Amino acid sequence: MTSALLHSIVSGRQDAPVLLLLNSLGATQAMWDPQMPFLESHYRVIRCDTRGHGQSPTPPSPYGFDDIVADVLAVLDAHEVETATVMGLSLGGMTALGLGLAAPERISQIICCAARADAPPPFVQNWHNRMAILEDKGIEGVWEATVGMWLSDETRSTRPEAEAALRESFLQTTAEGYRGCAHALMGLDYLRHLGEMRVPVLFVAGENDMAAPPDAMRAIAQTCPEAKYVEVKDAKHIINIDNPEGFMLAILSFLDLDA
């Protein structure tokens, strides 16, 4: 197991409960910008860049989820946080589940967005295909193969600034970091342990997400004690950016907050 000291940012109310935000593979902590004004008014918010992403270092690959989870626990330790609510999307959502299984005493609740909990053969093959694109065309080639699954055509045409911001973050991902995190995804194996989860979880799916389809996420939620499931209409994989209003409505009740 390797360790990395992740880049992290703290904002919001310093006397409030902690909310830890975890990014998707290929994104950075900036992916949560649309939600920040509201979340900062209720929480002490900690955002961090996953290893190999944004301003975090890139340890030698390959990585496993034990590595990625340990990185995040070290962030909580560095900020002297005993317990936190964790919200993550895609790779970040998988990491949130790993945190709940590995350190339930540190995690008060989880919002797992657009994430699987296992790695069936078609999923693994998809990541082998992505690795082939990475080796052939670099990280920009991977972006071009990804963006259509991340954002709807409507978002891309009416809010080009949202796509531009995601692209900027994506291109900050190192090839080694992307490769290492993809290796972790191909070994994803939390599903068979979710019956042991002792932390309340909200699973949030995007209606039009092909990477973590609603049917798959609904089935995952059914294996997890104290889990709830919600589906956001008109959203692809990066739910919080593709439909930010629908996303906030989906999480408010779980967080016991009012808009």
Average pLDDT, the chain: 97
Judge whether 52 lies within some domain: yes
Judge whether 53 lies within some domain: yes
Which H or E element spans position 246?
Answer: helix 244-255
User: Tell me, what CATH number does 213's domain have?
Assistant: 3.40.50.1820
Judge whether 171 lies within some domain: yes
Judge whether 191 lies within some domain: yes
- The 10s digit of each residue's pLDDT in 207-258 is 999 999 999 999 999 999 989 999 999 999 999 999 999 999 999 999 987 6
Predicted confidence (pLDDT) at residue 134 exceeds the cutoff of 90: yes
Question: Which residues form the domain of 15?
Answer: 8-255
Q: How many domains does the chain have?
A: 1
Predicted confidence (pLDDT) at residue 27 exceeds the cutoff of 70: yes
pTM of the model: 0.97
- In angstroms, the CA 40 to CA 252 distance is 14
Judge whether 3 lies within some domain: no
Judge whether 1 lies within some domain: no
- In angstroms, the CA 60 to CA 15 distance is 37
pLDDT of 256: 85
Q: Which parts of the chain are beta strand (E)?
A: 8-12, 18-22, 44-48, 84-89, 107-113, 201-206, 227-232
Judge whether 2 lies within some domain: no
CB 86 within 8 A of CB 113: no
